Each structure stands twice: as structure tokens, then as C-alpha cells.
Structure 1
Amino acid sequence: MVIFFIYASIVMICLMSCQVYYLLPNKSSFDKIVFRLLLVMLFHVSFAAIFIDIVKGYQYVDRGAPLGLLYGPILYFAFMAYEDKKPKVKTVFLHFTPFLIFLGIYFYFLTSEVFRVNFSKTYYFVLYSSFGLSWMIYPIFIMFKGRGLDIAMSNIKRIFYFSIILLLVLAAFILPLISAQFLTQIRNTSQLSTITIYMIMLFGAIIIYNYLLKELVDRKTVHSEFDFLNRPFPMVEAENPILELQMPNHKLTNYQDRVLNYLNQQPYLDPGFSLDTMVKDLKMSRSMISQFFKEYFKQNVLKTINSLRIEAVCKELEQPDFDMNIEELALRCGFSSRASFYRNFSLEKDCTPVEYREQIKSKLL
């Protein structure tokens, strides 16, 4: 009876979360990955309820399914979306390769009774060991990758911390279980194992719902505060600097004034500058700042900041007495990576910094 209550709770919370997701304005890449996670959880719990507790005699259909191998990669790609990085197809395929391999074995496991009779224990052992390793490796990797994150900073960071904790708890639960009991006492421990795993999944569903609900409230507030931006707004001409606040604009709200005046102080020239720096300095929510950049600059925060940095580089290159190493200039203007600097400069100006300097020198002659 307890397990049915847990199943029903997860399904209900996932469906409520999906409804909140559809109400979200300006869905980010991170939001879309969270939605895919909800769909996986919804399918996973429905699959388990049907084959473990509703249809008798088919428990192996659920227990042999490699769905647990999806959660680690989803967490990883959510982290990439948080960092505003788009994964390559090769990277996506690489991270989902274990799932695809076990999926092929799983189909054979379902269709071959001989395989189930002779190798089911070995298959379960290898599969659940893979679950445990995936649930341990991905959270630890993300903990080190994002060790500078501040838990109090944003809803997204909170969801990462809680997700990491839940996956590590699952790993801590499943690895000792399979090493000590799985091969010999699976029937005695299966009910306890099922309840424990799906209770953790229930906590995960609650965390996701809480995140989406907070984001909905924040974004609805932001949308109403920046509603006038939906009307035509005089944008900066391409040949002029991206920031131009020489004269005060009575149309700007306090939020816009704060962001634009802040950017005019050029904090982005610090290589350590990021969206999180803006959140902390301006004491505005991450979603509010992101919304402003999308509405005002028509691009995301990272692209705008890189454009501003390239603009600062060009101003230096245009000086008649310019005499500085290009890499040193890139660092002074906020680029900590040489490759990132050259890539962004080429995208913005369709030439290299040296070529740009030569063009300026020819005009000065």
C-alpha cells in the first residue's frame, strides 16, 4: 500500500510540474532538460508500477530496464545548459552509450528465456553496478566542475545541489546492496529496495516542482515589469558601441538603469566576471537579468558580455599609439582563454585582431 502511495505521489507531482513548465515564459535550455527529466521520471515510475506491483509475474521487465543510466547524463547536460554550453552530437552519444548498450542487452534479456534463467543474476549485478557507478561519478564530476557555486545564489544552483545529494544517496544505497545481498537475497530485499529508491525519486520530483514554481513566479514578475519592451524599442546601431548611455532615457525602468549603468562601469573586463557576479553585485535574480538581456540585447548574457569585451579590445586596437601584446590585451579585456578570445573576435569582426589592427593602421596613414 505504501509503494502505491509513493507511485501516485510521484506521478501527480510530475504532472503538476509539467503543467507549470508549459506556463513558463521564455523557456531556457536548462528548463527543457528539466522537462525531459520529468518525462523520464514519469515513464520510469509508471513502468515500475505496472510490472512490479500491478501485473504479477513480470517483475523482471522493470528490474532489467536500464532506465537508471539516464539520470547521470541528464544531470551532466543540465549542467552544460546552466553554463550556456551546447553539447555536440558526439558528446551526447558518448554519454548515452552505456544506456544504449544495456538497452540492446535488455531487449535480448526480455526475448530469451534461456538467457534469463542462466544469466539473470549476472545481468542484474552488472546493470545495478553500472547504476551505482553512474550515480556516483556524474555528481562527483559536477561537484568538482562547479565547486565555486553558491547554494544561496539561485534556484538552479539549489536544484543541482539537491540532485547531486540524491544521486549520491542512491549510489551509497545501491552499491553496498548489490555487493553484499543482491546475488543471494534479492527476493527478501526487493520491497525495501523499491520503497527506498522511489522515495528518493519522490524527493527529486518535489525539488523539480519547487524549482519550476519559483521560476514561474519570478519570470511572470519580470515579464510584467519589462512588458513595455514588447513594443518597438530603439536599439543601438550595429556600427555604434553596444552600450550607449550618455543621455538618460526616461523610458528605462529602475531595473534597466541598474543593469546598463553597471555594465557601463565595465566589470566584464575582469576575466572572472560572469552572470553570477552580476546577480551578486546587482542583487537581482538570475532569471530577471537573463530576461533583460534577451529582451534588450536580443541575445543571451554570455554572447553580450563577449561582444562588450571585443568592443573594448577594438577600442584599444584603434588607438594610434597602440603597442601591446595581443594576448596581454585579451586578458586585460576579460578573456582568460586565448582560444576563446580569437574565436569570439573572428565571429564579431570576421577577421583576426592582427588583421583588424592592420586595417586601422592603413586608415590612419
Structure 2
Amino acid sequence: MFQIFPLIPFTLLIVCVLAIVTFYLAYRSPDKSAFDRILLWGIFYIFLHSFYVFIIEVFYANEPWRDQLIPFAFGYGPFLYFGMLSLRDNKVQLWKLFVHLIPFVVYLILFGLLVFDVLENTLIMQKRIGKHIFILGPISFVTYAVWSAFEGKRLFKEKFRQKLAMFVFARILLLFISLIFIIVFFSKKVAEDQQAVYLLRMVIYVCMLLAVFMIFSYVVDKLIKPNATLTKKRKIVGPVSSIELAKYERSALSELQLIDFEKRLVYAVKEEQLYLDQELSLSSLAAHLRIPNHHLTQVFSMRVKQTFYQYINGFRIMHACELLQSANKMLNLEELAEKSGFNSKVSFNRQFKQIMGCTPSAYRNHLSI
């Protein structure tokens, strides 16, 4: 069963285990941004890919077409694309998602037709579909990698260095795997050498393992380091302390710059209603305003006199009160929370009571008197 390279199934098994652990940690992480959600599904996609190939290696080793013709390769480029977009706080539009997944869907359907013998599953048909995948796969990898390189230059100024490091690594892997595809496709000598093919496959799976390990490191780092920052923010229930203000008084930002940044903040949050975005975070807000994170933090500390969460939740609760006072009195609390920018009813109830002094239900009952 493992005649040529017994390391392949074991490598895939390690990828599966590490991917599912990373997925669990990322899923349990609080305050997930748009980028974190895409990363979450990206790691699940890698798990599906590695687990599928592991099953093929163990139970269908004599039918390599089951691995070669399934179009997992067409999914990695779109994940890179939408991951980069999420750093600019752009929402995923369904029509864009559909367009980018067209190659994956088309070849997945063709693969299904072969598996269920709707199409005649002959060697000629397998080679024809495999040829398409071996040509279009590298084209997809290179196209998305080149695009992400240009996009990364625009985002580097926004202090996304750790996240961009993952994209640089992913870009290199895509180009490297593209080279392997091209070698196998254009070199008949390599393609006919079973040991060489297995060696190249082993290299690809090691690349997958490295990618999963890098994402795992990011998730663990995010769970450990930001928690201290979030705890400090949430412990502050009143205006920012004088100690924190003193720290920022030594900042290089002038008063005019702070005022300008504050105006941009107020316009974006109030007029553009960014507070209704459930995935809004300090980083994504800073990216939208094109203001460095630490400068925006100073604006909240020195000008707004509130933390980011206090400021945004204040707007959200005011919006909820307006909904309760309007004709939308039939909204249940879960719908009200969602329409006000909260991602959970529990968080909505807690913030409402803290700001308004009563629960949303009590506030609604008072209005009906």
C-alpha cells in the first residue's frame, strides 16, 4: 500500500491533525475579523484536501486519477485573493466569490461525473481532464501570486506585517508548486518516473505542512498576545486614565493632526455607519481611515476619551434604541442585535444594560406604556 514513499501518508496525516487543531483554536478565538474568518475556512480547506489525499493514498493507491483530477488546486488562489482583500476591510461579495470559484466548480463537476460513470471513465478522458488541470493550475497560482505581490505593497504601510508575511510565504509556495506542475507536465522523463513523481508530491505536501504550521503559529500568537491588550481595554469602564494620557502626550502627533484624525473618525463611523459592521475592529477601522493603529488609539485616548469598544458600542446601542422607537417593534432581540452591529445577543444585552441601565426588553416595554 505504501510501496514507494511511505512518508507521504504520514505527512498528510500530520497536516490533517495540525490543520484541525489550528481550525479549532481559530474558531474559539474571540473577536474574529474578516481576515480571521477567511483564514478559518482556508485552514479547513487545507484539512479537506490533505484528508482526501490521505484516504486515496491508503485505500485507492492504484487509482491515482482520483487524486490528480480533483481540482483542489483551483481553491488556493481565491483564498489568497479574498484574504488580501479582507486586510482592506472589504466584504466578500457573493458574485465575486462565484466568479473566482468557477474553475473549481466546473472541474469538480467533471470529476463527479467520472466517479459516478456519467462520463466514460477511460484513460483518454482522464488524460484530457488532467491536462487541463496541469495547465490551468499553474496559471491560477501565478496569477494570484503576482496580484497579491502588487496588493501587498499597498497594504504594507498599514502595519499588517505579520499577516503579510503569511501572504508572502503563500505566494512563494504557489509559485514553487507551479514550477513542480510545469516540470511534471513538460518533462516526459519525469512524468514517467514514478519515484520522481512521488518525490515531487512529497515536496508539495511538505509545503502544505509548512503553510499549516505558519497559520498555526499566527493563531497561537493571536490568542496569547492580543488577549492582554483586549483585557486592558475591557477593564476600562470610564474615561481613559491620566497615566495613559501622559504616555500619549509625548507623542509626535500635533494637536491639529489629532483633530483631523478625529474628524475623519467621526465622519466614517457616524455618517458611513461603520459601527453596523459586526466584524469592525480597531485594525480594520484604522485601515479604512488610512491611519496607523497606534495613532488611532491616541485619538481615542486624547480626543474621544473612550476606548474603541466604548465608542463603537455607544453608536450601536443608540441605533438599537432608534429601531425600538420606530416601526420595527416586531424585531426579536437576536434580529435587533444583528441589525445594530452586534454578533451575539449576549453581548448586545450586556452592552445595552451597561449603557442604558436596563435590558432591551425593559426598554421596549417602557416605550409601549
TM-score range, shorter chain: 0.5 to 0.7
User: CA 1:11–1:257 in 2, change beyond 3 Å: closer, same or farther?
Assistant: same
In the alignment, the residues of structure 2 paired with residue 178 and residue 45 of structure 1 have an alpha-carbon distance, to the nearest angstrom, of 22
| Per-residue CA distance 1:315-345 (angstroms, 9 max, x = gap) | xxxxxxxxxxxxxxxxxxxxxxxxxxxxxxx
Instruction: Work out whether residues 52 and 58 of structure 1, in 8 Å CA contact, stay in contact via their aligned partners in 2.
Output: no
Deviation at 1:89, TM superposition (A): 1.4
What's the counterpart of residue 88 of structure 1? 93
Q: 1:64–1:183: structure 2 CA closer, same or farther, 3 Å change rule?
A: farther
Find the aligned partners of 2:71 and 2:108 in 1 and give their Cα distance.
6
Residue 88 of structure 1, CA deviation: 1.9
Q: Which residue of 2 aligns with 1:106?
A: 111
Superposition deviation, residue 175 in structure 1? 1.8
Instruction: Please state how far the C-alpha of 1:267 moved relative to its aligned partner.
Output: 4.5
Q: Which residue of 2 aligns with 1:116?
A: 122
Tell me which residue corresponds to 2:134. 128
Q: Identity of paired residues, percent?
A: 18
The aligned counterpart of 1:32 is 37
Given the superposition, is the C-alpha separation of residues 167 and 251 from structure 1 closer, same or farther in structure 2, using an over 3 Å criterion? same
Equivalent residue, structure 1, for 2:229: 222
User: Is 1:137 the counterpart of 2:143 in the alignment?
Assistant: yes
> TM-score with structure 2 length normalisation?
0.65
Deviates more, 1:14-23 or 1:83-92: 14-23
Partner of 2:312: 297
Partner of 1:329: none
The one-letter code of the counterpart of 2:123 is V
Distance 1:148 1:57, change over 3 A: same
* CA distance 1:255–1:162, shift in 2 (3 Å): farther
Tell me by how many angstroms 1:21 deviates.
Answer: 0.9
**Which stretch has the larger CA shift, 188-197 or 92-101?**
188-197
TM-aligned CA distance change 1:93 to 1:265, over 3 Å: same
In structure 2, the residue matched to 1:278 is 292
Partner Cα distance (2:60, 2:70) in 1: 16
Following the alignment from structure 1 to structure 2, what is the Cα–Cα distance between the partners of residues 139 and 210? 22
Q: Runs of 5+ in structure 1 lacking a partner? A: 234-248, 285-291, 301-365
| Contact 1:75-1:138 at 8 Å conserved across structures | yes
Q: Which amino acid aligns with 1:121?
A: K
**In the alignment, structure 1 residue 63 sits paired with structure 2 residue 78:** no
| Shift in Å, 1:28 | 0.8
Structure 2: gaps (5+ residues): 1-5, 265-285, 299-306, 316-369
CA distance in 2, matches of 1:75, 1:147: 15
Aligned to 1:266: 260
Distance, in Å, in 1 between the alignment partners of 2:147 and 2:244 is: 40
Does the 8 Å contact 1:13/1:206 carry over to 2? yes
Contact kept? 1:258, 1:282, Cα under 8 Å = no
Task: Give the AA of the match of 2:311.
Answer: Y
Sort the Cα spacing of 1:184 and 1:6 in 2 relative to 1 into closer, same or farther, 3 A: closer
- Cα displacement (A) at 1:219: 2.2
Equivalent of 2:163 in 141, 146, 156 = 156
How big is the shift at 1:145? 2.1
* CA deviation map 1:4-55 (0-9, x unaligned): 3311221221122123213311011111111101111111111001112343
CA positional deviation for 1:114: 3.3
- Structure 1 position 159, deviation (Å): 1.3
In 1, the alpha carbon distance for the partners of 2:259 and 2:225 equals 27
Specify the alignment match of 2:177 in structure 1: 170
Would the alpha carbon gap of residues 117 and 62 (structure 1) be closer, same or farther in structure 2, given more than 3 Å must change? same
**TM-score normalized by structure 1?**
0.66
Q: In the alignment, does 2:14 pair up with 1:9?
A: yes
Aligned residue pair count: 274
Is the CA contact (8 Å cut-off) linking 1:24 and 1:219 kept in structure 2? no
- Using the TM superposition, name which of 161-170 and 275-284 deviates more: 275-284
Please say if residues 20 and 44 of structure 2, whose CA atoms lie closer than 8 Å, have aligned partners that are also in contact. no
Measure the CA separation in 2 of the matches of 1:255 and 1:167: 46
Q: Is the 8 A contact 2:34 2:86 kept in 1?
A: yes
CA deviations over 1:242-290 (Å, ceiling 9, x no partner):
xxxxxxx45477289849x9673425889xx846741476899xxxxxx
Query: Any residues of structure 2 matched to 1:198-213 within 5 Å, and which?
Result: 198-213=205-220
Give distance in 2, aligned partners of 1:35 and 1:82.
15
CA distance in 2, matches of 1:184, 1:14: 30
Q: SS of 2:120's equivalent?
A: helix
Distance in 2 (CA, whole Å) between partners of 1:179 and 1:253 is 66
Moved more, 2-11 or 97-106: 2-11
Alignment CA distance shift 1:252-1:106 (3 Å): farther
Change (3 A) 1:5 1:56: closer
